Amino acid sequence: MNYSETIAYLHSLTDYEKRRIERYSPETLDLTRVNRLLDALGQPHTRFPSVHIAGTKGKGSTAALIESSLRAAELRTGLYTSPHLHTFRERIQVDGQLIEREDVVTLVEEVRRAIEHVPGITTFEAITAVGFLAFSRADVDIAVVEVGLGGRLDATNVIQPEVSVITSLSLDHTYLLGDTLAEIAYEKGGIVKPDVPVVVAPQRTEALEVLKRIGEKRGAPVQVVGEDWTYEPGPTELGGQSFIISNTTSHSQLEGEYWIPLLGRHQLENSATAIAALDVLRQEGYDISAEAVRDGLRGVHWPGRMEVLSQEPLIVADCAHNPYSAKTLREAVKDWFPNRRWVLIYGASADKDIPGMLKALLPICDYVIVTRSEHPRAVSPVELADQVADAGGGAEISVNVPKAIQRGLDVLKPGQGLLVTGSIFLVAEARAAFGRTA
């Protein structure tokens, strides 16, 4: 197979990124099946240390912040994330470099032969196996692995990490993970391993209590950002922001002032969570200095998260895809761009809480253009326009993202900005329209 045929083969498997999972259960997502596949491949996931990250929001940013810092500490790193913005190769990185096309072809062929003896393997399970093989073959010092969905039954939950990380939890994928924060926390907390330290981002009490109980039951020490670690926001600018972090329980070499090129106060929460996890690794013997963490955080690259695509006219893109992240985005643009009103370009996937997102976004927007990405789960613009009407607004329909952006620029008035959000797939196409594909 060539590279294109290889990617097509992966998507020919049961692909829950392109079609809705009807049931989140061991019958649908079976770790026994993943383990059998990895056994056939020689258990590559046992050959490198790891950091395992679950959460509703911020897990990708936190993963990127940790990996960048580990690389700045001169460790050879792996990074496994999903979904991707522009190319499949983003999902599997070694030392900050996307996996080579030739390596994708070689490793998928190896996994394909093993799959022949393990029926029912899904696309994500196969990709996870490819990632673990890549890290094993590259002899990484440590890999940062982001959960795909949930945690307890996720294909990545076969690793034995050095530290587990749980980022901010909110209601998302409720039809699969549960209708309450406690139920979602139980699923995310499924990545907690016996005796393995856990770092938890600030949570609502309902979720935090569940995570602490899981940690206590499994003998896993739990550190909580907001309790064991605190941070104070510093000055902001269009290119980033600074903050000061402190450990409230004992002195840490990683306490101090840092700067990140990511916008939005929520990124300080992700950064503090990353530093707390890095401190656990440092205590376990990894040579991670405060200077390395400063360099790593300053140099992190994580596009599509409150990203300024243009300053004049002002165009901001963000991958917000649930009500919580939409509210976070609303508050972030208020902080960074006071008194600015927005033309909203919006598109979403079919399994999302669209009314909840619109409720958060419409109050800051004067004009709405609904569109759709090319992703098969994208909701039609006609249906989105109806939902905007139900929310008390009005929307213009555009058939695709480039045309929506052009129309948005046409109607933009002085003092307004263009806000593109609703899904990672929409943002990817918006970035591509501005020539950004990395």
Domains of the chain, by residue range, sit at 3-298, 307-433
pLDDT at 149: 86
- Please name the residue that has the structure tokens 């004992």: 250
State the chain's mean pLDDT as an integer: 93
pLDDT-derived band of residue 30, with 50, 70 and 90 as boundaries?
confident
Confidence tier at 226 by pLDDT (50, 70, 90): very high
End-to-end CA distance of the chain: 25
> What confidence tens digit (pLDDT) does each residue in 129-163 have?
999 999 999 999 999 999 998 899 999 999 999 99
Burial class (CB in 10 A: 0-12, 13-18, 19+), 38: buried
3-298 shares its CATH topology with 307-433? no
Q: Using the predicted structure, report yes or no on whether residue 16 has a pLDDT greater than 90.
A: no
Q: Which CATH number fits domain 307-433: 3.40.50.1100, 3.90.190.20, 3.20.20.70, 3.30.450.80?
A: 3.90.190.20
Evaluate whether the domain defined by 3-298 bears CATH number 3.40.1190.10: yes
163 or 238: which leads in pLDDT: 163
3-12 and 123-138 helices, crossing angle to 10°: 130
Over residues 165-178, the pLDDT tens digits come to 999 998 755 545 66
288-323 burial code (b ≥16 CB/10 A, e <16): bebebbbbbbbebebbbbbbebeeeebbbbbbbbbb
Name the pTM for this structure: 0.93
